[in-house]
Every structure is written in C-alpha cells, then in structure tokens.
Structure 1
C-alpha cells in the first residue's frame, strides 16, 4: 500500500507540473491536498512521508481522531472540506489550518460564536461558491448572495478570509466543465476585489479533484483536493 501511494503521488505531481507548463502556470503556486476521509492513519503517514503536508477531512469527529493520532507529525495541515453542520461549530479549533466549505452566513456566525479558535491563531476560511445551479447535490452559496458572507468573514476575529472553494458538477463534458470553471474563477476574482481587506494579496482557489484537476489548473486553481487518485477507492 505504501509503495502504491508513493507511486500515485509521484505521478500526480508529474501531471501537475505538466499541466502547469501547458497552461502557463507556476507549479509552485499549485498545492496538493490529500483527501484522507475514510482512509487510515497509516495511509496518511505514507502520503506524509512523500512530502504531502495538507490533508482534507469531511467530518469533524473523524478529523479529531486523526489529529490526536498524528499530532506528532510536524507541519501537518488539516483542511475541513466537507459540509459542516452548525451544531459542530463548537468542535472547530486552531488545529485546523483551513475551512473550505463555508456556504452560509449562519454557519460563519456559529463558528465565530462557538468555536474554540484562538484569535491569535486565526484559521483560513474559504467561501464555497456554487458552480452549477442545477446540481442539487452540491452545497455552495450563489455568487449573487455571497458578498454579505465574504464581508462578514473579513470582519471575523477567528477566521481569515482567504479565498474560495468549488465542487464541480458530475459532468463528463469537458467543454461544459471549462465554461463552468471559467465563470467560477471570474466570480471569485470579482468577490475578492470587492470584499478582501487587501485585494492585491493572492487568494486561494480550492478547485479540482481526481477526475478534473487538469481543467481546474487551467482556470487558476491553487489547491487541488485529490483522494481516489492518491489512496485508491474507499473500501
């Protein structure tokens, strides 16, 4: 298993470098998050030993167990990438590096009110923007309604507004995906320019998974959330 993970990571990193060159991107600006939900701490260690520092978890309780088991690994960074229920806000703390999936003003307010985040150790927060209005299975706030949420996070004492996350539709038509991601990137840029404290600061675009990361790189993604292509399918 460890050798397979190492081989997969090497191949993905080669692909990232290739696509970055193809689309005239700096590969150093494109980081890889290993989506480790449902995978073992042994698999996470194997990826970590290959130089991966960023790991994505969907569920707070699963993250808590893994954080406790792996807190001896220096520089490991945990990302919450799944839908967060408001009643779980109290479990969020500064051991989380970044929350990707803030899609409601009420959720942001609950995190501000109930989380255990140290105000001196703010965590990065991304607004999850809706990519496809017809995809009812994906969370995300519409571009039209996102400005109030972005502005609230900018004023937060516990979160640092750092960019945007998108989950692409389950769509195999590459032309459709390209158009969708192009609009997502333009909407993200517009919101950042109108809401961020320092609009000249580079922001995060968390976009792209195992099946679509070439198109995500083409449209400016800086964080790729890769699970299956690293760890294999969940058993």
Structure 2
C-alpha cells in the first residue's frame, strides 16, 4: 500500500513540476491537498509517511472518525474541510480543522461565530461561484462574496485566507480556461479591496481531472484525490 501511494505522489509531483515550469509558475508556491474522502486511514497514513501533510475531507462525520482514529499520531497533519457544510454542523468545528475551504454564506459564518469551538481563529476560504449555469456546484456570487468578506474581517473566530472554486464537470477546454481566469481575476479583485493587499490569497482551484488548466490560470492550491489514492471506496 505504502509503495502504491508513494509512487502516485512522486509521479504527481514530477508531473506538477513539469507543468509549473511550462507555465512559469513557482512550484514551491503550489500546495497539494490530498482529498481523502472515502479513503481508509491506512491510505492516509501511507500518504503522510510519503511526505503529504494536507488532507481534504468532505463530510463532518467521516472527518471526526478519522481525527479520532489518528488522535495525536500524525502531529503535522492538516485537515481541510472542502465539502458543503450545513449550518447545523458548525457546532462540530474545532481546532482540529486547519482550514474550512467551503464557506459560502453569511448565515454559515454567523453560525460558526456562535458555535465554533476554537482556541484560535479558524482559517476559511470563500467558495466563489465559477459558472452560474452549473447547477451541480455551490458557491456564492461576487456581490454576496463582498458582504461575506466584510463580515469575516469583523469576526472574532474566523480568519479570511482566500478563495475556493469547483469547476464544471464537462466543458470545452477553452471555456474552462475562460471561467478559471475569471475566477482568479474576481478573487484577486475581492482580495485587493481588503487590507491584506501585501499578502497573497490562497486560490484553491483544480482537481485530478483539471489541475493543469487550473495551474495555467493561476491556482496555488490543488485538491487531488484519484491521482494520489486511486479510485474511492464508497462503502
């Protein structure tokens, strides 16, 4: 198992380095999130042993089970919640969450403010809508994102770190590029209107099927599942 995961990670990193060079990107500025949804803990342990420290989970209950399983055995592991979070699940957020990538409403932010249990501020990404015609993906409009961004800046429990986007499943490559470039431009414009103008936002865009396009367009964080772990076990 460990050899399989290690080989996949090494192959992916080699390919990513070549892509970064192709588009004149600094590979050191691109973070890989290993999407471990539906993956068993042995695979996570293998990826961690191979140098991977950032992991992405979609569901609160599955994430809680994995946190409990590992306890303090993987001290540098960073959990990212990347799936849609219902308001009634905000009470389960703790300092074990390194980053919530899917913040998509002021109502959810208010619930986190009210019920989240943190020693320090929770790092969050605003999930921006990429394609208004894609009914399968969540995310908020630019207008809503401005209001959410302003709320976060006043929050005592939430720290604004950047933006996340999920692209359409099936779309022509040039249209995908157009949407991704627009996402990056919108993200930077929203970021520059804050007082974090001298820092760079996290731009979480790109998965196993589209990460080259995401890198070309400016992403600095990739959410990679299949290319690292293989097919998911949905049982």
Per the normalisation by structure 1, the TM-score is: 0.96
- Unaligned ranges ≥5, structure 1: none
Q: C-alpha distance in 2, partners of 1:154/1:80?
A: 20
Distance 2:26 2:199 in 1: 17
Cα deviation per residue 1:36-78 (whole Å; 9 max; x = unaligned)?
0111110000000110000000011111111121131121000
What's 1:92 paired with?
Answer: 93
Match of 1:13 in 2: 13
| 2:220 pairs with one of 219, 222, 225 | 222
Q: How many angstroms does 1:170 deviate by?
A: 0.9
- Give 1:172 deviation, angstroms: 4.0
Match of 1:205?
203
Q: Size of the alignment, in residue pairs?
A: 232
Residue of structure 1 in register with 2:74 after alignment: 73
1:131–1:181 CA contact under 8 A, matched in 2: yes
Instruction: Give the Cα separation in 2 of the matches to 1:34 and 1:198.
Output: 27
Residue 158 (str. 1) matches residue 154 (str. 2) = no
> Using the alignment, how far apart are the partners of 1:45 and 1:172 within structure 2?
35
Partner in structure 2 of residue 101 of structure 1: 102
Distance 1:144 1:107 in 2: 17
Q: Which residue of 1 aligns with 2:2?
A: 2
In the TM superposition, 1:157-196 aligns within 5 A as: 157-194=156-193, 196=194
**3-state DSSP of counterpart to 2:37:** coil
Q: Distance in 2 between matches of 1:206 and 1:91?
A: 23
Distance, in Å, in 1 between the alignment partners of 2:161 and 2:76 is 19
Report what 2:128 is aligned to.
129
| Larger CA deviation: 69-78 vs 209-218 | 69-78
Aligned residues of 1:78 and 1:97 also touching (Cα < 8 A): yes
Q: TM-score, normalised by structure 2?
A: 0.96
Return the alpha-carbon distance in structure 2 between the equivalents of residues 173 and 7 of structure 1.
31
Task: State the 1:197 CA deviation.
Answer: 2.9
Distance, in Å, in 1 between the alignment partners of 2:143 and 2:151 is 15
Structure 2 distance, partners of 1:213, 1:76, is: 23
